[in-house]
Structure 1
Amino acid sequence: MSRPNIVYIVCDDLGYADLGCYGGREAGFGRVSPHIDALAAGGLKFTEGYSNSPVCSPTRFALMTLRYQYRLRGAAEEPINSKARKSQTLGLPPEHPTLPSLLRGAGYRTALIGKWHLGYPPAFGPLRSGYEEFFGPMAGGVDYFTHCASTGDHDLWFGENEHPEVGYLTDLLSRRAVDYVHRMAEGAKAGTPFMLSLHYTAPHWPWETRDDAHVAPEVAKNLFHLHGGNIESYRRMIHHMDEGIGWLMDALRQHGLADNTIVVFTSDNGGERFSDNWPLVGGKMDLTEGGIRVPWIVHWPAQVPAGTTTAQHGMSMDFSRTLLDAAGVAPADSHAPDGVSLLPVWREPAKRLHRPMHWRMNHRGQRALRDGDWKYLRVDGHDYLFNIAQDARERANRAAHEPERLATMREAWEAWNATMPPIPEDATVSLGYGAKDMPQR
């Protein structure tokens, strides 16, 4: 069989239960995510998949490098903020091997359409880290109509040039992705596969739907949009993204590429203020389940059984490592991956791999370890122990009842942490991400 094409769809701040296929409720206009739900119905859905971080850019470092983000200075920012615009250190170093650079070196065509958030030119940028093409914002969040970042700077780019273009950002990204498939189709059929990273900003604030162009000038003055938004507009933003994914899948089918194209869908972290994380607690900026457990869907009809579900543990860098494995491309010898390949589970969802997962967060001194059914968590200096298999909501703290297990998991986290660079003293945390709901002592 020819090498698979890859479409890596990453949305922004999506809640665990926002999608219909993850138990999401219908909105006033009907089903929120019919096309994404169809990907799950035709592929494999992970019920216990995680992001590498509960905030934007650190997860993207891991996704790109196949390694724990803590190994790079730029990922110590939670997340990279506007000061990175002139920084020579806060970004993804161009010399570091990445998923797109490794695939490109093996003959893949590569493009990023959507959010980058890993540093600015001239020191950093998608074209310096393996992508042949780039269209999208460099910043973390932009207005959907003016395409301005929170600094007020216009932030829509084509390559390394700012690129003014009229339109609702989600639709602009979707249409560019469809155009890319049309342009790559003949080459893919002739044996030159492509990797398309489609990284939406939706449903990240500001809360603007396709029909809200008239409110954009007001919203652009405060992109956090603390004074506006609602559940209905938030769901419509997801629905607009879902429609674009439908256009993309139609393009793949039109060219006969859908069967041997791996489509992976996920979010960079847990949900924000209007999202639905049920039954999980917490959200963006938290190492509780609601901040790091996210949807993961794999659609690859040629090799992934349709209509399957797995409770296999995995995080962002694992899925990137798996895509590399599926393409038959080896990691760089100079940068051994921390991510593990889940390809055996993709092909046989009944299989289970033992996969301990570690996190740390400068914000509130958070740390976490998920190992099997159990999770060790520290927040604000307090240690917690949860049996996630029985208590996904993290309400029953078992620390006092199982001190030996707590000590063992704490020691395991400490041993892992000793292998990572320390958090720099000058690393910053960007707050303003919504209410938190941390466990009580």
Structure 2
Amino acid sequence: MPSHASHLSRRALGGAAVATVAAAGVGVGVGGATAGTAQAAAPRETPFRADTGRRSRRPNILFILGDDLGWADLSSYGAPHIRTPNLDRLARQGVRFTDAYSGSATCSPTRFSLYTGRYPGRTKGGLAEPIADRSVGLDPNHPTLASLLRGAGYATALIGKWHCGYLPDHSPTKSGWDEFFGNFGGALEYYSKLGLGGEYDLYEGEVKEGDAEYKDLRYYTRILTERASEYVKRDHGDQPWLLNLNFTTPHWPWIADGDEEASAEVVRRIKAGDKRALFHDDGGSVEKYTEMVQDLDRSVGQVLKALKESGQEQDTLVFFASDNGGERFSYNWPLSGNKSSLQEGGIRVPTIVRWPARIGGGQVSHEPVFTPDWTATLLEIGGARADRSYPLDGTSLAGYLLRGEELTQRELFWRVRGERAVRRGNWKYYRGKGGTDQLFDLAADRREQADRAADEPKVLAELKAAWERTDAELLPYPS
């Protein structure tokens, strides 16, 4: 099977890749535009040494997640009716990934895979799809992206949605983040901050049961944007920082900034005991969803503006993605399936990486990558090492992005209740809830409609066996 390392269209790279890029000439730019002659970034020292005394060797990390944002919900990914100029600009300034995937098909398992760098099924909390009660969460003793980077000298903060367990046993500040401001649950009403159980769900720092919550009844996306902007503009001295900025936009309920009447109705139903009120089954529209996505784009733009004004833009690695595929009103064409499914529409997500000091702009990568890869990548770039007792399931992309190294072909694995999937190269093995093994050539059929299982029985058998080998290593789902 052919290698897919050539799938990165490069304009510029730093360090050792300069000569390679200069010889390569012309690449493909964002949105299909042709990139000009390669102009390499100035060579810089390798960022991989854990030397906290040399700030310039390691970047700040701004890791931004949207919530239930579909693969094609950005205009740079093909949305014909949604305008996202700030995220499109971010893509032009870095690398836009066309074949990037979430670690799972719903919120909390993907967050487990990001924070641990491992398949969600390796931990009890990751088996919940998603976490909906207080019985499980991310074990505070498990090393995380934050705890490992903090051990390497980073300041760490999480602003926004946690969704990896509840107090008193689980919280970001128990798992490596120095600071936390946000919500614990999977969803909340944007003004009142009422969660799925009717509880108020906005907190700051390590709180104990009975402590007063942090009261702020403004629109939630505005609050998170303000907090994140304050953090990136803070004087951190010579210490690099990690900020996980987890928006809830555009997750239901379908309430945009200014929709006070819709908010009041949802709140009335929550207080009346309607357990489905927050799901907003009778609300929303394509137009309302568009409004929410465009608000997310403006919010990201405001944080990036604050970053630039702080003078840290060049030395900050910015990452943007969604936690899983889109929901009811997402624009996923041409993908099949939505959130909760292991079809492409449930797990393929928009993904953008920018680091001006080391990564040239105008690049498009077609390399298959997924959430645990980013954990491994950021640990290497930040000069941190994974705990050998908790081996990572992701592959570091640092050499691929920074030095032009080829990525070896591997299998990307997913498992949710009733579904299974593996991708290797262009081939994807998929079994849905109907129990039929299917095989798709994603290079020719992103929509997963042409089942090649009968034509390629050997490939099907290989990928099925690969899935079963990995599955045998994971925890079983509770009955």
The answer to whether the superposition gives a TM-score over 0.5 is yes
Q: Which of these residues, 259, 266, 269, is aligned with residue 219 of structure 1?
A: 266
In the other structure, the counterpart of 2:31 is none
In the other structure, the counterpart of 1:433 is none
In the other structure, the counterpart of 1:67 is 118
**2:418 is aligned with 1:337:** no
Unaligned runs of 5+ in 1: 426-441
Partners of 1:344 and 1:311 in 2: CA distance: 16
Q: Which of these residues, 174, 180, 190, is aligned with residue 144 of structure 1?
A: 190
SS of corresponding position for 2:294: helix
The code of the aligned residue for 2:332 comes to N
Residues 247-266 of structure 1 show CA distances to partners (whole Å, capped at 9, x for unaligned) of 11111111210011000000
Structure 1 residues 118-197: aligned runs within 5 Å: 118-161=164-207, 162-183=213-234, 186-187=235-236, 190-197=237-244
In the other structure, the counterpart of 1:104 is 150
In the other structure, the counterpart of 1:405 is 459
Structure 1 stretch displaced more, 396-405 or 367-376: 396-405
The code of the aligned residue for 1:62 comes to S
Residues 304-360 of structure 1 show CA distances to partners (whole Å, capped at 9, x for unaligned) of 110100111111111121111111111122211111101122225684432310111
CA RMSD, Structure 1 to Structure 2 (Å): 1.3
State the 1:366 CA deviation. Answer: 0.3
In the other structure, the counterpart of 1:6 is 61
**TM-score, normalised via structure 1 length:** 0.91
Does the CA contact (< 8 Å) of 1:373 and 1:387 recur in 2?
Answer: yes
Structure 1 residues 31-46: aligned runs within 5 Å: 31=83, 33-46=84-97
The code of the aligned residue for 2:342 comes to L
The code of the aligned residue for 1:246 comes to G
State the 1:91 CA deviation. Answer: 0.1
Residues 15-66 of structure 1 show CA distances to partners (whole Å, capped at 9, x for unaligned) of 1000011111134xxx2x1111111000001110000101000000010001
**2:248 is aligned with 1:201:** yes
**TM-score, normalised via structure 2 length:** 0.84
Partners of 2:342 and 2:456 in 1: CA distance: 21
In the other structure, the counterpart of 2:337 is 282
Does the CA contact (< 8 Å) of 1:40 and 1:307 recur in 2?
Answer: yes
The code of the aligned residue for 1:104 comes to R
**2:372 is aligned with 1:317:** yes
Does the CA contact (< 8 Å) of 2:233 and 2:309 recur in 1?
Answer: no
Unaligned runs of 5+ in 2: 1-55, 208-212, 270-276
Does the CA contact (< 8 Å) of 1:47 and 1:311 recur in 2?
Answer: yes
State the 1:2 CA deviation. Answer: 3.1
State the 1:423 CA deviation. Answer: 1.8
State the 1:140 CA deviation. Answer: 0.1
SS of corresponding position for 2:317: strand
Residues 57-85 of structure 1 show CA distances to partners (whole Å, capped at 9, x for unaligned) of 0000010001111011111111100x22x
Does the CA contact (< 8 Å) of 1:97 and 1:129 recur in 2?
Answer: yes
Partners of 2:299 and 2:139 in 1: CA distance: 31
Does the CA contact (< 8 Å) of 1:355 and 1:371 recur in 2?
Answer: yes
Residues 102-156 of structure 1 show CA distances to partners (whole Å, capped at 9, x for unaligned) of 1111111111000000001111101100111111110001001111111111111
Q: Which of these residues, 307, 326, 335, is aligned with residue 381 of structure 2?
A: 326
Residues 215-265 of structure 1 show CA distances to partners (whole Å, capped at 9, x for unaligned) of 212123301111110111111111112111111111111121001100000
Q: Which of these residues, 337, 354, 370, is aligned with residue 423 of structure 2?
A: 370
Does the CA contact (< 8 Å) of 1:314 and 1:355 recur in 2?
Answer: no
Partners of 1:106 and 1:59 in 2: CA distance: 24
Partners of 2:262 and 2:467 in 1: CA distance: 47
Does the CA contact (< 8 Å) of 2:399 and 2:405 recur in 1?
Answer: no
The code of the aligned residue for 1:191 comes to D
Q: Which of these residues, 325, 328, 346, is aligned with residue 291 of structure 1?
A: 346
Structure 1 stretch displaced more, 202-211 or 327-336: 327-336
Q: Cα 1:171–1:114, aligned 2, differ >3 Å: closer, same or farther? A: same
Which one has the largest radius of gyration? 2
Partners of 2:128 and 2:307 in 1: CA distance: 37
Partners of 1:301 and 1:390 in 2: CA distance: 34
In the other structure, the counterpart of 1:57 is 108
Aligned-pair identity (%): 47
Partners of 1:379 and 1:341 in 2: CA distance: 30
Q: Which of these residues, 431, 439, 443, is aligned with residue 385 of structure 1?
A: 439
**2:352 is aligned with 1:306:** no
- Aligned residues between the structures: 410
Partners of 1:319 and 1:372 in 2: CA distance: 19
